[in-house]
Amino acid sequence: MKLDKQTIAQDFKILQDHICQELELEDGQGKFKEDKWTRPEGGGGRTRIFENGKIIAKGGVAFSAVEGPTPDKILQKLQLEQAEFFATGVSIVIHPDSPMVPIIHMNIRYFEMSSGVRWFGGGIDLTPHYIDPKDAKYFHEQVKETCDRFNASYYPKFKKWADDYFYLKHRQETRGVGGIFFDRLVSDDENEMQQIFEFVKAVGYVFPKIYRYFMSKNSVIPYGSREKQWQALRRGRYVEFNLVWDAGTKFGLDTNGRTESILMSMPPVANWEYMHQPEIGSEEAFTLEHLKKDIDWLIY
């Protein structure tokens, strides 16, 4: 039986509900506010924003299912013939209050066209303000275990893809400690396509498990004004990536998506300081030294 877009979208909505519940439970104070919206050209979504929690300063868990004529920019970029498109997904970015808790992003998506073209994509990556190799190892262990349940080749392939994708070329540094990134996963075999869908959902469901771990463990680590200043600078790097390099941001804007929902990934506050250089031997310097591709965090 062929997967249909309604089933995929409904499962993504269920996932959104689950993630929001889990994050609210761990934060213990804040609540998501839902903003339902419609896209004039077709479709709509549910953007849920979390602000001023005990642990989460600002976060968004967005579901969307949009459709209609495919914009020329998208056709040219994807090298596709004109046809109607449908795209659905769940996108998440969490900015914590404490600089000791990492920023995290997760996105899963499905795209199809009336011409028969279709695929899944997604990814999850961790952006610590301060890199802790033990935290990076835990994160990658969880992601690898999720990948290995479906295909042993997924983790090494998608980890490399993430290192290359979540990279600020103009800074020559990675956004964080990476994770996995994948796109255009598809099969002509419907059973295999179903397995791809199950893998994509598994990435979504491992997200709250991972992040609740970091919320619980890292939110009790003490910090001061120096760490908050550093957090603001690292948030600035996050903004740079999302506005300059992120394909999801560009896709949303090119398809006349809802600007407020697309830019929900931005932190509440970010700073830029001209030619900032951390003190040699500091924890800040250690972080900068490890914002590199191809680090094997599993054995670091």
Give, as one character, the DSSP assignment of residue 246.
-
DSSP letter string over 70-130?
PPHHHHHHHT--S-EEEEEEEEEEEEESSTTSPEEEEEEEEEEETTS-EEEEEEEEEE-SS
CA–CA dist 252, 257 (Å, integer): 5
The answer to whether the CB of 88 falls within 8 A of the CB of 65 is: yes
Which residues belong to the active site? 105
CA–CA dist 197, 121 (Å, integer): 10
Residue 63 has a CB neighbour count (10 Å cut-off) of 25
- The C-alpha torsion from 246 through 252 and 258 to 261, rounded to 10°, is -40
CA–CA dist 197, 186 (Å, integer): 9
